[in-house]
């Protein structure tokens, strides 16, 4: 077993870290306060080779391994969940999904644009009545001449308001559940597709774009289908496998950032004539946080490594996502406490981490759903 990063992996980590520290961190708080998606960073990430990630160079990617890509997510996750979340959707749920399921024509049309950051991608699965139970989705795809007409509504779509391309999941027959679902590549703007921001002020990810997409007789050509008719559910689930690795690695970044912030604070803040880091109760928090960060990171590395070996890693990816998001939520809660009143203000980033981390426990399958995936793999299904 070799725990050392290769020189190539260290180079990617360093490139992502520099971008995160020099270009994302300085604007993260202001973007969060303004609720503004930092769109100008997208082509910049493309130029740095971060958007293409594991895509092959012939499609505009950097051909990096999944382990390297997990390092990119971790570095971005350390400074901002909105930008890291953008990447997990754009690259993990959209670009890698097109690479896995697209025709050669679809790959050549979309992947280089996505890798350069000229186009933004979004993934539209969730509906008002279909969240965890995605197979119950009600958006319909009705055959019409040489294409399909989409009718229905999607909610909570990350990048939805700014995307140039949406992977949209719709059913030819709602009673067939997962067997009726098809995936479509829908370019925007397109007649019959209306987009609006999600209502309400969100707890976290305030610099992310979350939209409601409404399809009113939205016509798409048959060539827009991604995968075969009825394969849409498999397309959706395989994309989530990619995305969840990004969420898990991003959660490691959040937990690691909280640990670093707490260590720095505990070394300098003094009460009762001593550094608070000299109090055993504070030390216990720090030690638990350090153990959690290491364990979560190793689970992420294992899932990424298995992917790099071409091994199936759905269960290991779910384990990594479940564990990393849960420990990061605990770390963020403890970090606010350790910072005392300062942690309660956005003067310190731990306040933003505390709000953002809740989203990582919910999207791309809640912690409950990750437990279901893991347990089903353990005990199987009867009948
Ligand atoms: C910030 C953010 C970004 C998002 N981005 C996207 C996106 O880009 N694209 C997209 O399609 N969706 C996106 N979503 C939607 C997200 O995937 C869903 O919110 C999530 O899957 C949960 O669905 P739901 O909100 O309908 O909750 P529900 O499914 O209604 O769940 C409610 C509660 O019941 C629990 N529950 C449900 N079923 C079970 C069960 N069988 N056993 C035990 N507990 C269960 C859940 O875990 C949860 O605690 C995003 C959501 C957020 C918050």
Query: Is the domain of 84 the same as that of 203?
Result: no
pTM: 0.98
Cα distance between residue 194 and residue 173, in whole Å: 23
> How big, in percent rounded to 5, are the helix, strand and coil portions of the chain?
60, 15, 25
How many Å lie between the centroid of ligand 1 and the Cα of residue 360?
11
The first and second tokens of residue 179, run together, are 């067997």
Q: Is 158 in the pocket of ligand 1 (CB under 6 A)?
A: yes
Q: Domain holding 29: CATH number?
A: 1.10.540.10
Q: Quick one: how many helices (H) and strands (E) in the chain?
A: 12, 10
Query: Is the domain of 55 the same as that of 40?
Result: yes
Active site residues: 364
Question: Which of these, 75, 54, 14, 3, lies nearest to 307 by C-alpha position?
Answer: 54
**Chain center to CA of 141:** 27
Q: What is the model's pLDDT at position 267?
A: 98
Question: Which of these, 218, 157, 212, 209, lies nearest to 184 by C-alpha position?
Answer: 218
Range of the domain at 134: 122-232
Atom of ligand 1 nearest to the CA of 93: 8
Cα distance between residue 80 and residue 19, in whole Å: 12
Q: What is the model's pLDDT at position 251?
A: 99
Q: Alpha-carbon dihedral of residues 58, 95, 19, 297, nearest 10 degrees?
A: -110
Query: Is the domain of 209 the same as that of 252?
Result: no
Query: Is the domain of 215 the same as that of 262?
Result: no
Q: Is 363 in the pocket of ligand 1 (CB under 6 A)?
A: yes
Query: Is the domain of 64 the same as that of 185?
Result: no
**258 located within any domain:** yes
Question: Which of these, 156, 170, 160, lies nearest to 219 by C-alpha position?
Answer: 170
Contacts of residue 162, Cβ cutoff 8 Å, sequence gap at least 6: 37, 39, 120, 209
Q: What is the model's pLDDT at position 2?
A: 87
Q: Which protein residue's CA is at the shortest distance from atom 45 of ligand 1?
A: 368
Q: What is the model's pLDDT at position 1?
A: 81
Domain boundary among 75, 93, 120: 120
Pocket test for ligand 1, best of 130, 133, 156, 367 (most atoms within 8 A of CB): 156
The DSSP bridge partners found for residue 218 are: 150
Cα distance between residue 307 and residue 121, in whole Å: 23
Domain boundary among 63, 98, 120: 120
On the 0-12 / 13-18 / 19+ scale of CB atoms within 10 A, 336 is buried
Q: How many structural domains compose the chain? A: 3
For the chain of 383 residues, list the mean pLDDT of each consecutive stretch of 10: 94 98 98 97 98 96 97 98 98 98 98 98 98 97 97 98 98 94 98 97 98 98 97 98 97 98 98 98 98 98 98 97 98 98 97 98 98 97 78
Q: Where are the beta strands (DSSP E) in the chain?
A: 121-124, 140-144, 147-158, 165-171, 181-187, 193-197, 210-221, 225-226, 270-271, 274-275
Query: Is the domain of 286 the same as that of 328?
Result: yes
Q: Is 194 in the pocket of ligand 1 (CB under 6 A)?
A: no
On the 0-12 / 13-18 / 19+ scale of CB atoms within 10 A, 341 is exposed
Q: Is 126 in the pocket of ligand 1 (CB under 6 A)?
A: yes
Cα distance between residue 112 and residue 122, in whole Å: 16
Query: Is the domain of 257 the same as that of 218?
Result: no
Q: What is the model's pLDDT at position 382?
A: 82
Q: Is 246 in the pocket of ligand 1 (CB under 6 A)?
A: no
Q: Domain holding 173: CATH number?
A: 2.40.110.10
Q: Which protein residue's CA is at the shortest distance from atom 53 of ligand 1?
A: 359
**305 located within any domain:** yes
Query: Is the domain of 361 the same as that of 246?
Result: yes
Contacts of residue 116, Cβ cutoff 8 Å, sequence gap at least 6: 43, 46, 47, 51, 60
Query: Is the domain of 199 the same as that of 268?
Result: no
Q: Domain holding 300: CATH number?
A: 1.20.140.10
Query: Is the domain of 73 the same as that of 133?
Result: no
Q: How many CB atoms lie within 10 A of CB 12?
A: 25
Query: Is the domain of 225 the same as that of 238?
Result: no
Contacts of residue 131, Cβ cutoff 8 Å, sequence gap at least 6: none
Residues 120, 157 contacting (CB under 8 angstroms): no
**311 located within any domain:** yes
**1 located within any domain:** no
Residues 121, 259 contacting (CB under 8 angstroms): no
**78 located within any domain:** yes
**358 located within any domain:** yes
Domain boundary among 95, 120, 145: 120
Query: Is the domain of 18 the same as that of 115?
Result: yes
**2 located within any domain:** no
How many Å lie between the centroid of ligand 1 and the Cα of residue 155?
11
**241 located within any domain:** yes
Q: What is the model's pLDDT at position 322?
A: 98
């Amino acid at each position: 077993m070799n725990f050392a990063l290769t020189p190539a992996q260290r180079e990617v980590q360093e490139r992502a870290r520099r971008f995160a520290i020099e270009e994302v961190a300085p604007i993260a708080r202001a973007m969060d306060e303004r609720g503004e998606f930092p769109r100008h960073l997208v082509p910049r990430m493309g130029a740095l080779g971060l958007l293409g990630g594991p895509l092959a160079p012939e499609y505009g990617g950097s051909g990096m391994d999944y382990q390297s890509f997990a390092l990119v997510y971790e570095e971005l996750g350390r400074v901002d969940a909105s930008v890291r979340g953008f990447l997990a959707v754009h690259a993990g749920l959209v670009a890698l999904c097109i690479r896995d399921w697209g025709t050669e024509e679809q790959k050549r049309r979309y992947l280089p644009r996505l890798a350069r950051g000229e186009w933004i991608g979004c993934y539209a699965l969730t509906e008002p009545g279909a969240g965890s139970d995605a197979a119950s989705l009600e958006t319909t795809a009705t055959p019409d001449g040489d294409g399909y007409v989409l009718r229905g509504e999607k909610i909570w779509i990350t990048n939805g308001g700014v995307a140039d391309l949406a992977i949209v999941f719709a059913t030819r027959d709602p009673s067939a559940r997962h067997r009726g679902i098809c995936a479509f590549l829908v370019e925007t703007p397109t007649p019959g597709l209306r987009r609006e921001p999600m209502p309400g002020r969100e707890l976290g990810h305030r610099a992310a774009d979350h939209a409601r997409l409404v399809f009113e007789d939205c016509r798409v050509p048959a060539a827009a289908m991604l995968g075969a008719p009825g394969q849409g559910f498999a397309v959706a689930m395989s994309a989530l496998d990619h995305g969840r690795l990004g969420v898990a690695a991003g959660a490691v970044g959040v937990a690691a950032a909280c640990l670093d912030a707490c260590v720095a604070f505990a070394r300098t803040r003094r009460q009762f004539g001593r550094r608070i880091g000299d109090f055993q109760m504070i030390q216990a928090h720090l030690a638990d946080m350090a153990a959690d960060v290491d364990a979560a990171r190793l689970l992420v590395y294992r899932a990424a490594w298995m992917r790099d070996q071409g091994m199936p890693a759905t269960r290991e990816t779910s384990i990594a996502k479940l564990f990393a998001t849960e420990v990061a939520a605990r770390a963020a809660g403890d970090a606010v406490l350790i910072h005392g009143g300062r942690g309660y203000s956005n003067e310190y980033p731990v306040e933003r981490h505390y709000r953002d981390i809740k989203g990582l426990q919910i999207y791309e399958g809640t912690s409950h759903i990750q437990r279901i995936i893991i347990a089903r793999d353990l005990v199987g299904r009867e009948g």
